[in-house]
Amino acid sequence: MKAIIPNLWFDMFAEEAAEFYCSIFPNSKIIDRAYYTEGSPGPAGTVMSVTFQLNGQEYVGINGGPQFPFTEAVSLAVECDDQVEIDRYWEQLLAGGGTESVCGWLKDKYGFSWQVVPKTWMEYAAGDDPEKVKRAMDAMLKMVKFDIAELERAYNG
């Protein structure tokens, strides 16, 4: 098997979204575009799909129409090294009309869900000390955007 490639169903902004995402993440690029032809479901000559990479991971964006909107049931997690990185990705992904949610989640301007999280989060969430895990979880549940210093304080008591 070559790869597992996530396909993202957009109403009509797959190319714009791919360009937006590629402008945010390093090691990212548009790979290819396919166009609707005469007699196909979309207007002839418009982008049907766009293949792109985000930080080396390949994705396909499909302009499929409004019948399958994004939900929070699927999201992409962006693991960050530090608070500066969390802040940068948070602001970039919200740019142009995104909306904040809770616990490090947001929706970008295309309605797609992202989780912007510290790499250390799973250490806190899956730690050996149940009291530390509870304190970290309680702190996280009060956050919109992750605050690494606050998580560390909560975890360490």
Q: What is the pLDDT of residue 2?
A: 86
Task: Output the pTM of the full model.
Answer: 0.94
Domain extent at residue 4:
1-66
pLDDT digits (tens, 9 = 90+) for 50-108: 999 999 999 999 999 999 999 999 999 999 999 999 999 999 999 999 999 999 999 99
Q: Are both 150 and 92 inside the same structural domain?
A: yes
Q: Which of 66, 81, 97 is the last residue of a domain?
A: 66
Q: Are both 111 and 53 inside the same structural domain?
A: no
Question: Reduced to 3 states, what is the DSSP secondary structure of residue 116?
Answer: strand
Orientation of helix 130-141 relative to helix 148-156, angle to 10°: 150
Domain count, the chain: 2
Q: Are both 103 and 60 inside the same structural domain?
A: no
Q: Which of 42, 66, 90 is the last residue of a domain?
A: 66
Alpha-carbon distance values, 140 to 25, 129, 131 (Å): 25, 17, 14
Q: Which of 48, 66, 84 is the last residue of a domain?
A: 66
CATH of the domain at 35: 3.30.720.100
Nearest-angstrom CA–CA distance, 106 and 101? 5
Q: Which residues of 23-61 are buried (b: 16+ CB within 10 A; e: fewer)?
A: ebbeebeeeeeeebeeeeebeeeebbbbbbbbeeeebbb
Q: Are both 117 and 143 inside the same structural domain?
A: yes
pLDDT digits (tens, 9 = 90+) for 11-24: 999 999 999 999 99
